[in-house]
Every structure is written in structure tokens, then in C-alpha cells.
Amino acid sequence: MRDHLRGLPLGAIALLALLSGGCLDNTGITPPGREFNFPIAGRLWPADAPTHLLVANTNFDLRYNGGTLSTWSLTRLDECLLTCSEMGIAGEDCYVTDIIRPGSDEVACPGLFKSEVIIDSFAADIALSPAGDRVYVPVRSSSELFQVELASDGTLSCGPDRRCDDSHQGVDDSVAREQGITLPVDPVGIYVGSASADLGLPEGSGDYVLLSHREGATSLLSAGTPGTQASLIDVRKDFAPNLASISRDPNSGLMWIPSASRPAIDRVGVAADDRSILSESFLYDAGSLPLRGIDTGAAGYGDARQVVFDPRGLHQAYVLSRQPRALFIVAPDESQDGVELRGEVDVGSGPSRVTVAVLRAGTPAEHTLAFVSCFDSRDVYIIDVDAPRLVSVYRGVSGPFDLAVDPVTEQLYITDFRASVIRVVDIAPTLDCLAGTASGECTPRQLGMLGRPRAIVELR
């Protein structure tokens, strides 16, 4: 991407052009079912024992009049990937689809697709409720929040029809406006938590939502009950511009929000005037954490994209940065006015997302690995965070963006934005290498793809 647009995430360049040209009101073609169109996020659900994959499609090229959120059966996907292997079809040529097309070289997999709803274009991310019964999707084109109900069998619903109705999208800001508070535009990051577990409110207080907004604001919302919009509670501005994703520090309870504009992590906290009701809560600036010991080059600015906290409960975090291009292992210092740099590993160009997982837990071969998608160099870096060192690089991915890891099946799901597919990758060879039991190739191997790659105009 051009240097003057380097702080923008995927979709933002086109979004700016579309906003200026007034082209977002597309009343034309309804998105076809069971297809991907520039997917931006993928999540395994439920978290403890995944049975489905959730995928948000952005409709980046505005081919249709909306994006989609869909669910797919992991059991059927694994069965059909095995069919590819039994038929002698290499993972690079295994295209699994729920749709049967006569004469196609795709592997038909009836029952693979579960459910789908239509949302607005340019989804920024997706987040699941703590109970796992709802999906929240912030959308940049309309600056709205979609709330989609998720049933125990993987069925999605947000109204009587396939397209989400008004009660499942948007934000109720009627009370906030009376206090002069309005929802900022351009939501880019989301965190969803339990108001009782995270904030100490009474049981049954529901979910709360924090959104980070591109131009330096954070908003607090109370999630609505089924059939009602989320309610805006408070907005805090004056953070660094070009904010990115938002993550909660499980030790302090503060939200960490990296920025593409400076070598520091902004932090925001949630407090309450009345500990019995979420609507009386407010946001406060908890101060920024300078990223000490990190060489940001002659320009003197950092470009951090995401923070992930250690899944084992260790008091450390993993910061993915584009400037400099690396994954940093950090921890808040004792005075809480900066972070201690514990390690760093260089990554490829255009790092976009990172996920951290404990693999083969409870065995002598246990390792905690970070998986980093590098959009521009078209690969995924696999890092041992405890060493810290680079373990392997999975190359040749068209447009890797979001990542999800299933520690049980030892499979990596790569959301390929450019090719509009989900790549399923076996990471067992890499884990065997770490355990010293590998007998052959140590890099991950692709098992197949959910969908068929689509040729598009090059994204730069």
C-alpha cells in the first residue's frame, strides 16, 4: 500500500473512495447464499470445543448490496477434506463447497453450510458474547453495530428474514444525545464482555461492548436484549488517531488499544457511578504505555495493529507491529507507565493479525505459539513465544488476514481476503518438529480450501 495510506487497515482505502463518491447505497443485487466475498474475520465456535466456523464477508468490491455473516460445520468440513485425500487430490487443489455444480472440479459437501444472514458492507471484525449465544459485528460503511443471535446448532438469526432488521442493527443513542454524546464514525475494533464478571455489576446485567474508532475515540455500549438495539452509554475521545483493535488486560481490567500513529498503547477503563446498573458507567483515560526499547526508525513513529494477552494467564502481552515489522513480547513495568520489552521476532511485510494458542497442552511437547498473518508478503509466521524464536513460515497464501486455531484438531483456519476462501492448514508437522518426532517436512501443509479461489484485480 502507498506510504500515505499505510495506517489504514484492509478495506479502508476503498471505503474512503466510496464515501467520497457516495456509492455505498447499493440497492442492487442481494448477496448469493453460501459464498465468500472478501472475508475479513473467522471465528471458531464454541471456543472450548468448536463445532462451527463463523465467517464475516465485507463485500469489499460492492458487488452486492450487503455483506454476510455465515456459519459452517467443522465436522462436515473435516469429512470432505478427508475425501480429497482419499481421492488423491492435493490440498492445494481441494476446493470444498456445499453447492453442487455439474462438471466442476470442486468437492461437493452437502451439510457443510449451516446458516447465513445479510449485514451491511465493510464489516470490521466480529466478537462473540461470553455466553456464546450472540455475534456482534461493527460495520464501517454505516458506522453501526449488528447483533446476531446464535443458536446452539449454529443457526444465525437477526429478524424474520435473511437480512437483519432494524432491531438487530444500529445503536440507540436517544439518552446519550440528551447528554451531548454521539456515536463516533468508523468503528474498527470491538471487545464484548460480561458486565457482571468484568465490571462487578449484579448477575443478569448482560453484555457490555467497547468499540475503538479510527480517529481516536472509544465508545461504551450496553448490549440490547434480543430484538432491541444496543444503547450508547459513553464516548471518550482524544486518544491517538488511527486506533486499531481493542483487547482487555485480564489482570488490570483495562482495555489496550494500539495505534498506527505512535509507539505507545492507549488504555481506557470502565467505571460506574452506580454499581447496580450498567447505564451509569463511564469511560476514563487510563494513560498510554510507551513501547520502550523498540526501534521505530528515523520516522520515530510506531504502527501497532493488535494486542493479544497470554492465554495461560501470564502477565504479558504480544504486540503485532508494522513499524517496526515484528511481534513484540511485552509486560507492564512495575510503575505502570510503560512496558518492559521481553523479546521480539521479525515477521513478514504487512502483518495484519495475530492469534496465540497453547498446543498439545499438558504433554512434554506443549508449546505456546503465535500465528501472524502477513498480508503483503502472503505468508503466515509461526513463532514460539517462550523462546522467543521463529519456528516456521507457511508461504504462498494469496491474502492472509484473520486466523483461528483449533488446538484439538491442530488445524489453522486462514481467512484469505484476496482469494475469498478459507484455507485449512494442518500444523501437526510443525508441532512434530518441535517435539523432535518429525520424519519429513516440518512446515504446515494445506488440507484444502472452503470455497474456490476467485481471480480478482490485484490489491496493493
226 vs 143, which has greater pLDDT? Answer: 143
pTM: 0.92
**Whether pLDDT at 356 is above 90:** yes
pLDDT for position 437: 84
pLDDT for position 316: 94
Is 182 in the same domain as 283?
yes
Is 183 in the same domain as 322?
yes
441 band by pLDDT with thresholds 50, 70 and 90:
confident
| Domain boundary pick from 334, 358, 379 | 334
Is 303 domain-assigned?
A: yes
Is 294 in the same domain as 241?
yes
Is 186 in the same domain as 327?
yes
Is 355 domain-assigned?
A: yes
Say which range, 76-90, 324-338, 344-358, has the weakest mean pLDDT: 324-338
pLDDT for position 335: 66
Is 243 in the same domain as 374?
no
Averaged pLDDT for residues 71-98: 96
Is 9 domain-assigned?
A: no
pLDDT for position 354: 98
Say which range, 52-61, 188-197, 297-306, has the weakest mean pLDDT: 297-306
pLDDT for position 295: 65
The pLDDT tens digits of the residues spanning 241-279 come to 999 999 999 999 999 999 988 888 999 999 988 888 999
Is 323 in the same domain as 441?
no
Q: Calculate the average pLDDT of the chain.
A: 90
**Whether pLDDT at 47 is above 70:** yes
Say which range, 103-112, 132-141, 381-390, 442-451, has the weakest mean pLDDT: 103-112
Is 122 domain-assigned?
A: no
**Whether pLDDT at 336 is above 80:** no
Give percent of the chain with pLDDT exceeding 90: 80
**Whether pLDDT at 157 is above 80:** yes
Is 186 in the same domain as 220?
yes
C-alpha cell at 372: 501472524
Is 82 domain-assigned?
A: no
| Domain boundary pick from 311, 334, 357 | 334
Say which range, 17-26, 193-202, 364-373, has the weakest mean pLDDT: 17-26
13 band by pLDDT with thresholds 50, 70 and 90:
very low
Is 330 in the same domain as 190?
yes
204 band by pLDDT with thresholds 50, 70 and 90:
very high
Is 378 in the same domain as 420?
yes
Total domains in the fold of the chain? 2
Is 65 domain-assigned?
A: no
Is 362 in the same domain as 411?
yes
* Cell 440507540, residue located: 172
The pLDDT tens digits of the residues spanning 363-395 come to 999 999 999 999 999 999 999 999 999 999 999
Q: What's the chain look like in SS3?
A: CCHHHCCCCCCHHHHHHHHHHCCCCCCCCCCCCCCCCCEEEEEEECCCCCCEEEEEECCCCCCCCCEEEEEEEHHHHHHHHHHHHHCCCCHHHCEEECCCCCCCCCEECCCCEEEEEEECCCECCCEECCCCCEEEEEECCCCEEEEEEECCCCCEECCCCCECCHHHECEECHHHHHCCCCCCCCEEEEEEEEHHHHHCCCCCCCEEEEEEECCCEEEEEECCCCCCCEEEEEEECCCCCCECCCEECCCCCCEEEEECCCCEEEEEEEEECCCCCHHHEEEEECCCEECCCCCCCCCCCCEEEEEEECCCCCCCEEEEEEECEEEEEEEECCCCCCEEEEEEEECCCCEEEEEEEEECCCCCCCEEEEEEEECCCCEEEEEECCCCEEEEEEECCCCEEEEEEECCCCEEEEEECCCCEEEEEECHHHHHHHHCCCCCCCCCEEEEEECCCCCCCCCC
364 vs 458, which has greater pLDDT? Answer: 364
332 band by pLDDT with thresholds 50, 70 and 90:
confident
C-alpha cell at 56: 464475516
Domain around 252: 170-334
Is 196 domain-assigned?
A: yes
| Domain boundary pick from 334, 363, 385 | 334
Say which range, 75-84, 255-264, 370-379, 432-441, has the weakest mean pLDDT: 432-441
301 band by pLDDT with thresholds 50, 70 and 90:
low
214 band by pLDDT with thresholds 50, 70 and 90:
very high
Strands laid side by side in the 156-157 sheet: 127-128, 134-139, 144-150, 156-157
Q: In degrees rounded to 5, what are phi and psi of residue 406?
A: -105, 105
pLDDT for position 104: 83
Is 311 in the same domain as 404?
no
- CATH number of the domain where residue 283 is located: 2.130.10.10
Averaged pLDDT for residues 12-32: 57
26 band by pLDDT with thresholds 50, 70 and 90:
low
Is 324 in the same domain as 237?
yes
The pLDDT tens digits of the residues spanning 446-457 come to 999 999 998 665
pLDDT for position 300: 53
Averaged pLDDT for residues 144-158: 97
pLDDT for position 14: 46
Is 440 domain-assigned?
A: yes
